[in-house]
């Protein structure tokens, strides 16, 4: 029987275990995939801890959103795929009921897309969460324009890499933020116009200096916390500040005075704003697939773990030292 990653209680990475389970049946629009690699996301860390904001796990629970592999079986209602297809999964389903962590995955048909031949299995497991997240923020909702300046916080993350690539493709000027100098060379390899270290002094002053005192048009932030006030100060009049995470863990103060004075658009954002709306989801999938096929979007893989090292892979993500997407090879 295939091995599937599950947890029987919420908690630290050590709760993850390999359970042998029967191959799942492909009912209705289900697709069963022989997994070659799966990618890790912050959502799965929160889900494992029982802190996922969307829903709680039903224990024992599977997990995972992103995988690459070969179609093993399809349900009777599946019309767009066949057994043997080389595919990736798109994060657009209820984790726990569906899953990607394991030797086999079960996902719905709408969440399965072809994997281009020029990408490795590891790269195929590293595409959809980052690029679809960025597409929704930059294109569908944020309307990032050529000539605008975008500040990308946590630029060394898989989403940060995707954001740098997409912003440059859209013709924007990119200011990449990182905490220190350890990841500067990695970030520089993805083409930002400027790199700013958040520990390097007055963050707002650095951004304002790089924009000639005008401020950034768009700030893309997964961290929030106390520095949210500095980022608001570094945004131009009627600028946009998208918050798509809370990695800081510290309280965030809403910049009321700056928001009023500058007419700022400050909003929370998540991938669910793309995948929950079929028309938007279809546009996003088409745009990302085109960019990947053309080689414009190329995911960065940080480190590849084995299936037996899945708990270590989670610990690696929680250490925040990664550069790009963490992947588990199966």
Residues carrying CATH 3.90.180.10, the chain: 3-126+300-329
CA 86, chain centre distance (Å):
22
- pLDDT at res. 164: 98
Task: Give me the architecture of the 129-272 domain, per CATH.
Answer: 3-Layer(aba) Sandwich (3.40)
pLDDT tier, 299 (very low <50, low <70, confident <90, very high otherwise): very high
Tell which residue, 224, 182, 186, has the closest CA to residue 199: 182
Summarised one tens digit per residue, pLDDT across range 205-238 is: 999 999 999 999 999 999 988 888 999 999 999 9
Whether 317 and 177 have beta carbons less than 8 Å apart is answered as: no
Within the chain, which residue ranges are assigned CATH 3.40.50.720?
Answer: 129-272
Residue 119 is predicted with a pLDDT of 94
- Once rounded to an integer, what is the mean pLDDT over residues 268-275? 95
Name the burial class of residue 278, with classes exposed (0-12), middle (13-18) and buried (19+) by CB atoms within 10 angstroms of its CB.
exposed
Asked whether the predicted pLDDT for residue 200 surpasses 90, the reply is: no
Query: pLDDT-derived band of residue 250, with 50, 70 and 90 as boundaries?
Result: confident
The CA–CA distances, whole Å, from 303 to 40, 82, 157 equal 11, 31, 12
Average pLDDT along the chain: 95
Per-residue pLDDT, 53: 86
Is there a cis peptide before residue 60, judged by omega within 30 degrees of 0? Answer: yes
Residues 123-166: tens digit of each pLDDT? 999 999 999 999 999 999 999 999 999 999 999 999 999 999 99
Q: What per-residue confidence (pLDDT) applies to 249?
A: 75
Does the pLDDT value for residue 62 go beyond 90?
A: yes
Domain 3-126+300-329, CATH number (from 3.90.180.10, 3.40.710.10, 3.40.630.30, 3.30.70.120): 3.90.180.10
Q: What is the pTM of this model?
A: 0.94
How far is it, in rounded angstroms, from Cα 101 to Cα 41? 11
- Please compute the mean of the pLDDT values over residues 68-84 and round it to a whole number: 97
Q: What is the pLDDT of residue 225?
A: 86
Q: Cα–Cα distance between 132 and 283 in angstroms, integer? A: 10
Close Cβ partners of 242 (under 8 Å, ≥ 6 residues apart)? 137, 141, 142, 218, 219, 220, 221, 267, 269
SS3 state of residue 146:
coil
> For residue 198, what pLDDT is reported?
84
């Amino acid at each position: 029987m295939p091995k599937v990653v599950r947890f029987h209680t919420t908690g630290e990475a050590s709760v993850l275990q390999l359970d042998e389970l029967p191959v799942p049946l492909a009912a209705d629009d289900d697709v069963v995939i022989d997994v070659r690699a799966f990618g890790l996301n912050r959502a799965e860390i929160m889900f494992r801890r029982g802190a996922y904001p969307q829903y709680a796990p039903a224990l024992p629970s599977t997990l995972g959103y992103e995988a690459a592999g070969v179609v093993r079986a399809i349900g009777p209602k599946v019309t767009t795929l066949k057994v043997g297809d080389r595919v990736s999964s798109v994060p657009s389903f209820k984790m726990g009921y569906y899953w990607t962590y394991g030797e086999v995955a079960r996902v719905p048909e709408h969440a399965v897309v072809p994997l281009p031949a020029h990408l490795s299995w590891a790269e195929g497991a590293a595409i959809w969460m980052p690029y679809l997240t960025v597409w929704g923020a930059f294109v569908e909702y944020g309307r990032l324009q050529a000539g605008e300046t975008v500040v990308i916080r946590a630029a060394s993350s898989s989403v940060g890499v995707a954001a740098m690539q997409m912003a440059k493709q859209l013709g924007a000027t990119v200011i990449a933020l990182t905490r220190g100098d350890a990841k500067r060379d990695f970030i520089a390899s993805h083409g930002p116009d400027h790199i700013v270290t958040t520990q390097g002094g007055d963050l707002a002053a650095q951004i304002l200096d790089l924009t000639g005192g005008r401020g950034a048009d768009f700030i893309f932030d997964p961290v929030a916390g106390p520095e949210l006030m500095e980022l608001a100060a570094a945004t131009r009049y009627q600028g946009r500040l998208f918050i798509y995470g809370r990695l800081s863990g510290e309280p965030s103060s809403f910049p009321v005075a700056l928001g009023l004075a500058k007419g700022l658009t400050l909003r929370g954002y998540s991938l669910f704003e793309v995948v929950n709306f079929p028309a938007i989801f279809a546009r996003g999938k088409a745009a990302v697939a085109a960019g990947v096929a053309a080689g414009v979007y190329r995911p960065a893989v940080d480190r590849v773990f084995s299936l037996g090292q899945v708990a270590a892979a989670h610990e690696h993500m929680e250490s925040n030292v990664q550069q790009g997407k963490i992947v588990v090879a199966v």
